[in-house]
C-alpha cells in the first residue's frame, strides 16, 4: 500500500495554487513548484514512473536553510512528533486529500517534537531534494524547528 501511495505522490502533477503570496515563507512553496517530470523505467515497480526534474532554482535550495509556512498533516494522531508531513495547504486541501500536487508537501525531521495545530506554523530547517527514492516525498526538511505558531 505504501508503495502505491508514494507512486501516486510522484506521478500526480496537479498545479500549485498559491493561497497567500504576501510572506517570504509562502514564496518557498511557489519556488518548490518549479519542477517537471520525466518518464523513467523503475526496476522495482516493473513499469515507467514519473520522476521529478528539479529546476535550477529548486536545485539551488538543496542543502540550504529555509523558512517555510504551512500546515502539519497528522500521520499518527494529534500529538507531538519529530517526523511528520508538512503541507502548503490545510489538512482539508492538502495533497493527500486531493487538493494539490506532490510539490505542496514535504517530510519533516524536527529536532524536537512539534505539537499538532490546525493553524499554520512556520518552520526553519535544511531542505533536501529527493528524485531517487519513490518511497519518499520529493522534499524533506531536516533539523527543523518551529519558529512561529
Identify whether the C-beta of residue 103 lies closer than 8 Å to the C-beta of residue 112.
no
Identify whether the C-beta of residue 65 lies closer than 8 Å to the C-beta of residue 125.
yes
> Mean of the pLDDT values across residues 105-127?
94
**Helix-strand-coil split of the chain, %, nearest 5:** 20, 40, 40
Residue 48 pairs with which residues in a beta bridge? 41
User: For 28-85, what is each residue's pLDDT tens digit?
Assistant: 999 999 999 999 998 888 999 989 999 999 999 999 999 999 999 877 766 678 999 9
| 80 or 138, which is more confident | 138
Q: Is the pLDDT of residue 12 over 60?
A: no
> Mean of the pLDDT values across residues 121-143?
95
- pLDDT at position 3, please? 37
Distance of CA 83 to the CA centre of its chain: 13
Q: Assign 2 to helix, strand or coil.
A: helix
Give the Cα separation of 113 and 15 in Å (integer).
Answer: 31
Instruction: Just give the CATH number of 2-148.
Output: 2.40.50.140
Amino acid at each position: 500500500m505504501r508503495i502505491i501511495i508514494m507512486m501516486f505522490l510522484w506521478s500526480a502533477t496537479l498545479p500549485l495554487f498559491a493561497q497567500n503570496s504576501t510572506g517570504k515563507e509562502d514564496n518557498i512553496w511557489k519556488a518548490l513548484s518549479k519542477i517537471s517530470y520525466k518518464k523513467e523505467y523503475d526496476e522495482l515497480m516493473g513499469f515507467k514512473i514519473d520522476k521529478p526534474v528539479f529546476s535550477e532554482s529548486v536545485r539551488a535550495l538543496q542543502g540550504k536553510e529555509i523558512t517555510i509556512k504551512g500546515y502539519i498533516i497528522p500521520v499518527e494522531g494529534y500529538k507531538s512528533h519529530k517526523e511528520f508531513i508538512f503541507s502548503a495547504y490545510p489538512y482539508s486541501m492538502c495533497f493527500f486529500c486531493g487538493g494539490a500536487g506532490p510539490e505542496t508537501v514535504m517530510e519533516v525531521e524536527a529536532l524536537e517534537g512539534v505539537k499538532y495545530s490546525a493553524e499554520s506554523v512556520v518552520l526553519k530547517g535544511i531542505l533536501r531534494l529527493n528524485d531517487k527514492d519513490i518511497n519518499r516525498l520529493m522534499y524533506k526538511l531536516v533539523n527543523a524547528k518551529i519558529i512561529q505558531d
